[in-house]
Structure 1
Amino acid sequence: MATVINAPTRDEVSENNKVIFDQLEKGLGFVPNLYASYAHNETALGDYLTLQNRRSTLKAKEREVINLAVSQVNECQYCLSAHTALGKMNGFTEDQILELRAGSASFDSKLNALALFVKDITINRGKPTPEALDNFFAAGYDKANLVDVLMVIGDKIISNFIHGVTNVPIDFPLAPELIEA
């Protein structure tokens, strides 16, 4: 059985993190366990939320493509569950979400290039194949988009690792298993 590092409660975090917990409670209705895990550190939760909420050239749907593909490669059930819910909120169907997790999007050629690129670069630890990068640019993405994609990949890897180490309980509806051919 994996070790669980419990997410701190509001009473167990710094005053600064209490303010953030209150904002999350007000905005989301609860403090997700994964976010709470960042609050073991005085500044990490605020730093992470700043990174996650930075201005981007990417649309919300594109960010969800990245979140789903990276989390699948890294086998993070927490992030897959959270981003399955967010993907649905952003207009993806259950079948589309499963396809995105597998690293493709037959329903949209531009998102397909993005999903393929993200899966490729995540599997290859930051060194995409020339074909994946060429297809990304051929789909209409530019260098500014590339930097934003890399920022979102980094953001998601941080969360995947936080959950991989803490194993905090998943407080979103559990994402279904992905059965790959």
Structure 2
Amino acid sequence: MSQFVAHTPETAPASSKPMVEGSLKKFGYVPAPVANMATSPELLGTFMGNIGAFDKTTLTTMEREVVIMAMATHVECHYCVAMHSTMLAGQEVEAAVIDTLRERKPLADSRLEAIRQFALAVITKNGGVAPEELEAFLAAGYTRRNALEVVLGIGTYTMSTFANRLTGAKLDAAFESYRWEGHSAH
């Protein structure tokens, strides 16, 4: 049992209430991560603001999703993997690509694999990537700006993956068909 409250618009702290209400309006329910993060209006507001900033980067939607899935599978955030798998399916991404991301395997698309590898290097080396790792990323057609945008994505989704794990975010029914129990489950 979680030691955190899953807030509703009625129970959310005043500063979180507009964000919780906005999520309810957008999705028709309050997603568990939003409900749980609402305990800290600062965390919820920063996370939501960072999502907006990450969405405005020069990375494509698919490139951003690769970064998110690299982060989510690395820290084994069951909620994020299920949610982003569902989102990818809704964008008509091939099931094989979704499965490959979920299984942490190399992607067939060399450009997407380059961003996946770079994201993993940034994550596992706490930003201290080797010069040859940055060069491989740049050789795939990415820019130094893109490298910093990967850092933005990792920072954004570090907040949510860590908060989801800390609060024990329950998987919402909308994502049940893509339930993911972690790498050890495969």
Q: TM-score range by the shorter chain?
A: 0.7 to 0.9
Structure 1 residue 98: Cα displacement = 2.4
- Secondary structure at 1:128's aligned position in 2? coil
Aligned to 1:69: 70
- 1:168 and 1:177, CA in 2 relative to 1: closer, same or farther beyond 3 A? closer
- 1:75 and 1:58, CA in 2 relative to 1: closer, same or farther beyond 3 A? same
Q: Partners in 2 of 1:116 and 1:42 — Cα distance?
A: 33
Q: Give the partner amino acid of 1:74.
A: V
Answer yes or no: is 1:105 the counterpart of 2:107: yes
Gaps of 5+ in 1: none
Q: Partners in 2 of 1:130 and 1:178 — Cα distance?
A: 29
Q: Partners in 1 of 2:169 and 2:22 — Cα distance?
A: 21
Deviates further, 115-124 or 6-15: 6-15
- 1:98 and 1:129, CA in 2 relative to 1: closer, same or farther beyond 3 A? farther
Aligned to 1:137: 138
Q: Partners in 2 of 1:176 and 1:77 — Cα distance?
A: 6
Instruction: Tell me if the contact between 1:16 and 1:42 (Cα under 8 Å) persists in the aligned partners.
Output: yes
Q: Partners in 2 of 1:119 and 1:92 — Cα distance?
A: 21
Correspondences of 1:30-179 after superposition (within 5 Å): 30-54=29-53, 55-101=56-102, 102=104, 104-106=106-108, 108-171=109-172, 172-173=175-176, 174-175=179-180, 178=183
TM-score (structure 2 length as normaliser):
0.86
Q: Give the partner amino acid of 1:175.
A: W
- Secondary structure at 1:12's aligned position in 2? coil
RMSD over aligned CA atoms reads 2.2
Structure 1 residue 148: Cα displacement = 0.9
Structure 1 residue 129: Cα displacement = 3.4
Q: Partners in 1 of 2:181 and 2:94 — Cα distance?
A: 13
Structure 1 residue 168: Cα displacement = 1.9
- 1:133 and 1:91, CA in 2 relative to 1: closer, same or farther beyond 3 A? farther
Q: Cα deviations across residues 81-118 of structure 1 (Å, max 9, x unaligned)? A: 11111122233222212222415211x11111001111
Q: Cα deviations across residues 146-175 of structure 1 (Å, max 9, x unaligned)? A: 111110011111111101211121112213
Q: Give the partner amino acid of 1:15.
A: A
Q: Give the partner amino acid of 2:83.
A: A
Instruction: Tell me if the contact between 2:8 and 2:20 (Cα under 8 Å) persists in the aligned partners.
Output: no
Structure 1 residue 16: Cα displacement = 3.4
Aligned to 1:18: 17
Structure 1 residue 14: Cα displacement = 2.4
Aligned to 1:7: 6
- Secondary structure at 1:152's aligned position in 2? helix
